[in-house]
Chains A and B, each alone.
Chain A
Amino acid sequence: MNSKLTTFCIYLLLSTLLAGCWDQVQIEERGFVVGVGIDIPRTKKTEQQAKQEAPDKPPVKERFLVTHQFVVPGGLVSGGQGSGGGQNTANEAFHNLVSEGDSLFEISRELASRTSRAPFYQHMKILIVSEEVARTKDGFARALDFYLRDPDSRRSSKVFISKGLAKEVLEVKPKTEKLPAIYVNSVAENNIKNARMLPAVRLGDVHEELLSPYSFVVPRIRPEEQEVKLAGAAVFAHDNQLMGFLGEEETEGLNFLTGNINGGMLKGKFKNNLVSMNIQGIKHGIKADLRDRQHMKFTIEIECEGTLAESYATMDYLNHMAMEKLEQVFAEEIERMSYDTIRKVHNQMKVDVIKLGSYLKQHHFSLWKKIRQDWETGQHLYEKSEIIVQAKVYLRNIGAINRTERQNNR
């Protein structure tokens, strides 16, 4: 009898081990952060206020203004039909919280004092860093450190550099999507339709670039009232500091130079009339002449494949001559764009975003080991090199019709 009682007591004691869970968080208590925008504060107000509260605190160099976009699940389901009233603010599916501080972790924790749902980063889709932050020394790396270090967040969030305030990107009111962050995320996946967009850069990719000695590019985003424009590229030098931007066409040229094109369109002038082509795929190769180290010669060969999408020139495309001429026109256009980009990144900015250094590392490692220090810095061998572009276009198809209107009999 006594032993039975003991066993019972032991079971009772052991059951206390089973009960309770330290980490229980109900799903409705989580504040799902879908997007984050990082800016530099415009006013000194909050800083001064903080100084008044804690006068002995040592002053800090940089401060961040961070916008967190939370999902409001209620706004997602209602659909806007039942409640009516068009732009009902109560019916919005997102909620932006802006907070200021000198550390991103501090800001994230500070939010807990303002919202009922503590931020939860596992579903963060986009991370927008403003131009100003990226221009400061090490600003980009500092802004991203928290999100890379936090075991909760993911390396697959997409990173953008905003021209203007990052906050404004998260404030656009798209008509098609309920959440601005999801909208931007979907837009970023459209690079298969448009060659002027850089392929999306993930947080993990940025980490890779920050650790590597090369220059790199990150997609540029520009906020407008109801939409964003995701075209162009932000150029970072090898010291991870923002140097400047590439325009839309320059980005397309860069995409051709690096072979990062999945689709898009190409315009050309044929007999003074506009023709355009739908790009369906490109092949890209580099040949290097490295005999003279002070004057290396790179030949970038681009082979582009596609179909005719639009033509204002009325002529018979179903013959060899016309096709060849047309291919020539498009090839010249690719070369023109590529050279424009080269002029900017090679001659003006002097940054190796064409990834020639990476090419040398991959294919001529013994040489690369010797010149690694002298590529973008030191002797500046990159600047002294010469880049030649050779484009070739294969027009596979002319579309459903040959001519739109009757050719003038002249």
Chain B
Amino acid sequence: MSSQTLAEKMISKNHMGISIASVTIGVGILTFPRSLAKATGAFDGWISVVLSGFCACVIGWLLAKLAARFPRQSFFEFTSIIATKPIAYILTLVVCIYTMLFVSFEIRAIGNIAKQYLFYNTPVEMITLSFLLIVQYAVVGARVSMLRLNLLFLPVVLVVMLIVLLFTTQLFEVENIRPFFSSDWPALMEGTRAVGLSYSGFEIILFYTMLMKNPKEGAKAVTLGLSIPILLYLTIYMFVIGVFSADVATNLTYPTIELAKEVEIPGGFFERVESIFFTIWIMTIFNTCAMWLDITVLNLQSMFHKVRKTVWVLILSPIIYFVAMLPQNLVDFFTFADSITYFGMIVVYLCPILLLLIAVIRGVKGHE
């Protein structure tokens, strides 16, 4: 850790972009085709994916602008410059709660889905706990090396996804995707809202810009980082509808998993690819989780300098685990997920944009 120079600890624009893509691709990828198909009832949901992605890009651009105004300064520091110190304390704590809840949500999702499809008898508590332990391990180490895992994992994830989609082409039916442009605007807007929940994650730009070599490139990084999930979601949605039809997609709990399960590679040996699909999916969730936990620690450390990282991880983990065990069933869990996202919209979208507005009006800028 100490042998690295400062420049090596910094991350580049592309690295930031890939981190944003990794954190965005999470649990949402499995469920969003269902909510989207339910809202639009047709193939037209792809318009919602693009619209929603565009909104995310705009918000991300604003967040990047805010962070770029204060290079090398943490979220807590620039919030206290723009607003006052007490407000900064409150806001940063709320942000910490949000990011922590996000970790709870992700680890519970791993537990739920792994139990449903992989381990029928293993208790959810155990699956979740072992996953949390690995995430802890990743977060306690050096921050940059954890972020480098993104560079390692994302290509694998995308390649496997591509293979899965490639092999489902034989099940693709054109009848399922027609008619085009049949949904009306309210339905598309509802779809935009539904898929928007799957885009949350790009707000890490607020907290990680301080690690970037050139903070001015933050906006570009967000665009790059979001274009990967937008394209991925677009293709996945098209294939889910093409293979299943909108009616069926509405009635599948995890359409993307079912899509992977549909794949049968002829020859017998590699007949089923869903095990590989689960592997890569767990890899993406691992990245997402590690980054969220790291951000929680980062924010807490910026407020309380004296406490060590390891201590924070050990304090937070039991709380995260406890919250993750709160939802009692699948319906509870999905409600939990939605409420976190709405909470996040206020905390990490609306508040920072207000901060940016104040900063612009008052002309506050960080020191170069």
Residues of A within 8 A of B (CB): 17, 21-23, 122, 151, 154-156, 204, 207-208, 211-212, 358, 361-363, 365
* Min CB gap A302→B, angstroms: 18
Determine whether the beta carbon of B175 is less than 8 Å from that of A17. Answer: no
Determine whether the beta carbon of A155 is less than 8 Å from that of B262. Answer: yes
> Within 8 Å CB of B123, what residues of A?
22
> Within 8 Å CB of A363, what residues of B?
178-179
Determine whether the beta carbon of A23 is less than 8 Å from that of B262. Answer: no
List B107-125 residues whose CB lies under 8 Å from chain A: 116-123
- Which residue in B116, B119, B179, B262 is a CB contact (below 8 Å) of A22? B119
Determine whether the beta carbon of A23 is less than 8 Å from that of B119. Answer: yes
> Within 8 Å CB of A208, what residues of B?
244-245, 247-248
Determine whether the beta carbon of B121 is less than 8 Å from that of A22. Answer: yes
- Which residue in A22, A155, A211, A365 is a CB contact (below 8 Å) of B182? A365
Q: CB-nearest residue of chain A relative to B122?
A: A22
- Which residue in A122, A151, A156, A361 is a CB contact (below 8 Å) of B179? A361
- Which residue in A23, A204, A362 is a CB contact (below 8 Å) of B122? A23
> Within 8 Å CB of A212, what residues of B?
245, 247
* Min CB gap B65→A, angstroms: 43
List B208-242 residues whose CB lies under 8 Å from chain A: none
* Min CB gap A242→B, angstroms: 21
Q: CB-nearest residue of chain B relative to A369?
A: B182
A211 to B251, CA, bound (A): 9
Known A-B contacts A22-B126, A362-B179, A365-B179; the reply to A155 vs B245 at CB < 8 A is no
- Which residue in B117, B120, B126, B248 is a CB contact (below 8 Å) of A207? B248
Q: CB-nearest residue of chain A relative to B250?
A: A211
User: Counting CB contacts under 8 A, is B190 at the interface?
Assistant: no
Q: CB-nearest residue of chain A relative to B264?
A: A156
List B257-311 residues whose CB lies under 8 Å from chain A: 258, 261-262, 264, 272
Known A-B contacts A22-B119, A22-B126, A151-B117; the reply to A211 vs B248 at CB < 8 A is yes
**Assuming A23-B118, A23-B119, A23-B121, what are 15 further A-B pairs, CB within 8 angstroms?**
A21-B122, A22-B119, A22-B123, A23-B120, A151-B117, A154-B262, A156-B262, A156-B264, A204-B244, A208-B248, A211-B247, A211-B248, A358-B175, A362-B175, A365-B182
Determine whether the beta carbon of B264 is less than 8 Å from that of A17. Answer: no
User: Counting CB contacts under 8 A, is B169 at the interface?
Assistant: no
Q: CB-nearest residue of chain A relative to B243?
A: A204
User: Counting CB contacts under 8 A, is B130 at the interface?
Assistant: yes
> Within 8 Å CB of B182, what residues of A?
365
Determine whether the beta carbon of A204 is less than 8 Å from that of B178. Answer: no
> Within 8 Å CB of A156, what residues of B?
262, 264
* Min CB gap A15→B, angstroms: 13
Determine whether the beta carbon of A155 is less than 8 Å from that of B178. Answer: no
* Min CB gap B122→A, angstroms: 4
